[in-house]
Amino acid sequence: MISIKTSPYTQNSSFLITSRRVISLAEMLANKFRFVHLAVLFIGRAGSWNIIPNDKLNASLQVKLDIGTVQGTLQNDSALRYTSFRGIPFASPPLAELRFRDPVPHKRWNGVLDATKFTNGCVELIHKDRLSYEVVGSEDCLYLNVFTPTNPHKINKLLPVMVWIYGGAFREGNSNTYGPEYILNGDVIVVTFNYRLGIFGFLSTDDMESPGNYGLKDQLVALKWVKDNINKFGGDPSRITVFGESAGAASIGYLLLSEKSSGLFQQAIMQSGSPLCPWALQTLPKKIAFDFGLILGITTNNSATLMTYLRQADLSKSHSAIIELNLLYIGDSLRQGNTFSPSVEPSYANAVVTKKSFEAFREGNVNKIPLIVGINSQESKFFSSIIRIAKPAFVLFDLSSNLLVRPAMNVKSSASKKIVADKIKHHYFHSGSFISGTDQEYLEFLSDDQFVRPVIKMVDLLLNFVKVYFYVFSYEGDSGKTWLNKRSNTQVRTKGVAHAEDVLYLWSGHQNLINNNDRLTSRRLVKLWTNFAKQCPSYLRHCKTCKIRSI
């Protein structure tokens, strides 16, 4: 079932806090590096785009942009014909001296750019199995893709535009894996793009030597490109809906809080993510930056010196260091945020995140546009295999239950913390103890802590200023189960819809939909999203209640 409603959804939830002093998981992992599979791959090359030779030119598939002409291709899907323009550069390759710097405009090119093939994805840290990781991708990756349901030269009226921001915990993901066929059936133009991830997208020295959040700034530049150029592809620049999942949704939340995104999109859909999620804000960026340097053999406490060396560092060595750094900080991720995630920047002209998100949402310092915001019914099911490995560490919440009470809960005295902690344990664990908790109880606890509570709190704050339609995606399809079992390399038997499972029903390419019920759910979800993109602005102006009914 998919349901969308305007009223805020509330339930008891809790914060989870870990302590480096009590839970030395990072130290444990550091001692076990010899057991960790370190796979380093490098894919792509600088300047990977090409110019079409004269004998391959086709004017009917070309679009003239201000900085050059691109030529796409006609795609013939089994049930859909559409035109794609893949691998269009929207910023200069962030290489050498541009590494760890704000994106800069791409230079003009001569000739007709070949936009018929995907280009590089950004450097990403992929979790393979248990404590096994690999690094793939290229630093030369700031490209976008435009998909139109027909040839741009044959569009009679400008179409609504939907721009996707992928998830992946700010450390993995790329735009090339999202097939647009389902969404194009909704008669909209679809845009996907890459943004820098991990250490290349979010390294910060907490000063002007490397202020950070380069991935978010890439997103802003890509959205500015869409605003300025999409009309040439038949898209309406006044009807742009940005949508994203997980880190993509959290990114949209950050963009909502930035004046720099004003006017770049008119609506947004946020799936399973918020800047208020504990994993979406890194609170130790400077320490992480210098620890990264130490792993590479850079011993300094000077930001300028560190960044000089990091911009010159050998990429293959950086890959191994990325994996080691991730493992070193994995024990702090529930408390301090993912190792590679946005951080509060020093105040300067290009800064995107300048204050804590909670205060900004509470004060209404947001771009006031219509929103769809939601969660899946059992988000943490996605992490089932990792939770099983980490389970023994949770016994420390039985030994020191006050650790369950996050500082943000504003509980001061130890006695009060003990009362609150006991309530949390008894709410989620039938026995009142972590050590004897079931898999389902752990999933409920972590889903609420990492996703449900922060998303709902954001909705609660936003409802004071904007229209928000809240949904819970709870359809447990066979396609989702197959995908999750394959990803986990085991049979996941717990109930609910996992984090990212909804993505399967929006985009082709991840998992084939294997029965009619799954295909029906896909059509319904796509219809809701594309109808919002096409109809919601005028609908909001003329309807007092503005409810989207459940289906």
Write the CATH number for 123.
3.40.50.1820
pLDDT at 331: 64
* pLDDT for residue 411: 81
What pLDDT is stored for residue 332 in this prediction? 67
Q: Which two tokens stand for residue 356?
A: 């804590």
**Dist. CA 417–CA 407, nearest whole Å:** 10
The last residue of one of the domains, among 381, 414, 441, is 441
**pLDDT at residue 422 in the model:** 84
d(CA 452, CA 440): 16
Same domain, 63 and 189: yes
- Does a structural domain hold residue 547? no
CB 275 within 8 A of CB 458: yes
Query: Is residue 550 situated within a structural domain?
Result: no
Q: Are 274 and 249 in contact (CB under 8 A)?
A: yes
- What pLDDT was estimated at residue 549? 36
Question: Within this chain, do residues 309 and 431 fall inside the same structural domain, yes or no?
Answer: no
Hunting for tokens 């999202």 — which residue is that? 178
Q: Which helix (DSSP H) or strand (DSSP E) does residue 239 occupy? A: strand 235-245
Q: Is residue 87 part of a domain?
A: yes
DSSP 252: H
In a shared domain, residues 272 and 421: no
Domain identity same for 527 and 419 = no
The verdict on 428 and 447 lying in the same domain is no
Structural domain includes residue 400: yes
Specify whether 446 is located in the same domain as 435: no
Residue-level pLDDT at 226: 98
In order, the DSSP letters of 465-502 are: TS-EEEEEE----HHHHHHHHHHHTS-----SPPTTGG
pTM of this structure: 0.87
- Domain of residue 429: give its range: 394-441
276 and 404 fall within a common domain? no
Q: Do 346 and 435 share a structural domain?
A: no
Domain count, the chain: 2
Whether 549 maps to a domain, the answer reads no
Together in a domain, 351 and 430? no
CA distance 405 to 479: 38
154: which DSSP letter?
G
Stretches in the chain below the pLDDT threshold 70: 1-49, 78, 129-131, 331-335, 389-393, 396, 398-403, 406-409, 489-490, 536-551
Residue finishing a domain among 381, 416, 441:
441
| DSSP character at residue 546 | -
| Closest among 68, 121, 278, 186 to 507, alpha carbons compared | 186
Please check whether residues 505 and 376 belong to one and the same domain.
yes
Note whether 39 and 134 are within 8 A (CB): yes
* Measured distance CA(376)–CA(106) in Å, rounded: 38
Query: 277 with 416, same domain?
Result: no
Describe the crossing of helices 285-295 and 315-328 by its angle, rounded to 10 degrees: 130
C-alpha torsion angle, residues 422, 426, 428, 434 (rounded to 10): 70
Q: Is residue 141 part of a domain?
A: yes
Separation of alpha carbons 512 and 518, rounded Å: 10
Q: Are 371 and 457 contained in the same domain?
A: yes
Residue 551 domain flag: no
Taking the alpha carbons at both ends of the chain, their separation in whole angstroms is 7
Tell me whether residue 548 is in a domain.
no
